[in-house]
Amino acid sequence: MKRLQFDRGRFRGQLINNSRTHETALAIISCPYFGNRGDSVNERQLLEALSRKIGKIIVFSFIPINRMKMYGHEEKYKKQQNILLINLPLIPLPGISLLYSLILSLLTFLLDRIYKFKFIYIRTSSLAFAFTILKELRKKLIAKIPALLEDELKFKAPFGCFICWLASLFDKIVLRNAAFIASSSPILMQEITVRRTVPKGKMILVPAGINLEKIRKIKNEIEDKKEIKKREFIVGFIGSLWWWQGVDVLVKSIAKLRDMNIDKPVKLLLVGDGPERKRIEDLCTMLKVNYSITGFVEHDTALKYLSMFDVLVLPRYKTSTTESNIPIKVIEAWALGIPVIVTRHKVFEFYGFKNYEDLVYCEPTPESIAEVLAKVLFSANLRKKLSEKGPQIAKHFDYNLISKTIIEVLRQT
């Protein structure tokens, strides 16, 4: 008998050893199953882990209509015999997710007559709301609310306020009717409860996680290369280049390191792409920062880049989502033994992660990041300590453990 604890009473989950059953489940996710962004990677790894506990999962995944061909040629994930993947085109029209919710709820009602779904897992309330109308569906519904929309997007359209109001409305409908509410952290659930409503269903903690088997393969591949003495420190960032990631602040901090007499040159490696890319490139050029941007890469490739870092830096600004979630890249860095510098968000303190032991805290300012970066890069002993502690933390975020917790909660009902 194993136990995975998240250090808060209501979210403690006892894990059971169980073999795969002949049950079937349904999952509807608002992102491409084959995608390489954090939301896609998290949902894919979660569903893969869950599929090993039950007989089959039918997955409806949404893909932007202009990228259907690209994702349609991905074959490597189609070999999972216990996942039936159905890709749906995401048409860029206002309210399209609401239409999909209505259509898919009716289709699911009919499919449930055949498959008798063990559970119905849906990411985002705009896709889940119609499933709360029918009693047969809502009693099996696990609705995941990954964020508060008004904190995530800067609406420039004249209907921005209306969109935020609508998102809040659907959150409230789902919170009042779904049998289970999934959240990435207790802190986010608390924020949802304060700003939306108290959920009537059971709460399930579904944090970002990792596939430890995949991590082990990456570590084995790069083990020999670790012995090569590098001529420069590689300070890295992984993720989409959005305003809230604070990459502009990271660039400015790298420029400040030039005055701190670091014993090797520092290179900034940005793994990702996004709307801020041009601004970041211009800033690097202006400040004469040695940098490289990979653009979007596959998840496995991103892990290999991550393994090259001397330190991962995530100077994200403070929003309800960043304050509440441990990003998958932090857990992957821990698993690979890469030291982590991150903004002092509430979620890290909630779990009790200690400064200069488990990770290193900073504030999203150039001065703060430069100061802690210098300490990490100057001290080989500190890097070694952080590198050794990381894998011990990461193993608690294995999706095999998280999926067992979910199955146990479902079987208690």
Q: With CA atoms as reference, report the closest residue to 201 among 167, 168, 170, 173.
A: 173
User: Dihedral angle at the C-alpha atoms of 134, 150, 294, 393, nearest 10 degrees?
Assistant: -70
Tokens of 151: 């904190």
Span 193-223, pLDDT tens digits: 999 999 999 999 999 999 998 898 888 877 6
Tokens of 262: 């670091």
Cα-only R_g, the chain: 22
Q: What's the pTM?
A: 0.86
The CA-based diameter of the chain, rounded to the nearest angstrom, is 69
- Contact 370/256 with Cβ under 8 angstroms? yes
Q: Assign 199 to helix, strand or coil.
A: coil
Residue 325: partners with Cβ closer than 8 Å, 6 or more residues away: 184, 185, 188, 207, 208, 347
Residue 236: partners with Cβ closer than 8 Å, 6 or more residues away: 268, 269, 270, 271, 305, 306, 308, 309, 310, 311, 312, 313
Q: With CA atoms as reference, report the closest residue to 42 among 56, 54, 31.
A: 31
Average pLDDT, the chain: 87
Residue 258: partners with Cβ closer than 8 Å, 6 or more residues away: none
Task: Grade residue 154 by pLDDT with cuts at 50, 70 and 90.
Answer: low
Mean pLDDT score, 45-51: 93
Q: Assign 84 to helix, strand or coil.
A: strand
Q: Where in the chain is the domain with CATH 3.40.50.2000?
A: 2-209+398-411, 212-396
Runs of H (alpha helix) within 226-338: 247-257, 277-287, 299-308, 328-336
**What CATH superfamily is the domain 2-209+398-411?**
Glycogen Phosphorylase B; (3.40.50.2000)
Q: At what angle do helices 160-177 and 186-195 cross, to 10 degrees?
A: 110
Span 238-294, pLDDT tens digits: 999 999 999 999 999 999 998 787 778 999 999 999 999 999 999 999 999 999 999
Tokens of 348: 């890290």
CA atoms of 13 and 352, how far apart (whole Å):
18
Alpha carbon separation from 377 to 265, 305, 306, 310, 329 (Å, rounded): 11, 19, 17, 8, 20
CA atoms of 47 and 200, how far apart (whole Å):
25
Q: At what angle do helices 380-394 and 366-378 cross, to 10 degrees?
A: 100
Q: With CA atoms as reference, report the closest residue to 246 among 376, 361, 343.
A: 343
Can you give the pLDDT at residue 40?
A: 92
Q: At what angle do helices 366-378 and 247-257 cross, to 10 degrees?
A: 60
- The fold for domain 212-396 equals Rossmann fold (3.40.50)
- Transcribe 34-80 into DSSP letters: T--SHHHHHHHHHHHHHHTTSSEEEEEEEEEGGGHHHHHT--TTTT-
Q: Which of 36-45, 307-316, 404-413 has the highest mean pLDDT?
A: 307-316
Span 59-101, pLDDT tens digits: 999 988 877 666 655 555 555 668 999 999 988 877 788 899 9
Task: Grade residue 161 by pLDDT with cuts at 50, 70 and 90.
Answer: confident
CA atoms of 282 and 251, how far apart (whole Å):
11
Strand partners, 57: 25, 83
- Give the CA count within 13 Å in the CB-facing half-sphere of 373: 38
Ramachandran angles phi, psi of 236, nearest 5°: -120, 155
Can you give the pLDDT at residue 224?
A: 57
Q: With CA atoms as reference, report the closest residue to 203 among 194, 195, 211, 193.
A: 193
Given a cut of 50, whether residue 4 has pLDDT beyond it is no
SS (H, E, C) 141-188: EEEECCCCHHHHCCCCCCCHHHHHHHHHHHHHHHHHHCCEEEECCHHH
* β-pair type (13-15, 2-4): antiparallel
Given a cut of 80, whether residue 11 has pLDDT beyond it is no
Span 325-364, pLDDT tens digits: 999 999 999 999 999 999 999 999 999 999 999 999 999 9
Mean pLDDT score, 104-119: 96
Given a cut of 60, whether residue 157 has pLDDT beyond it is no
**Entry field: residues in the chain:** 413
Span 366-381, pLDDT tens digits: 999 999 999 999 999 9
Percent of the chain with pLDDT over 70: 87
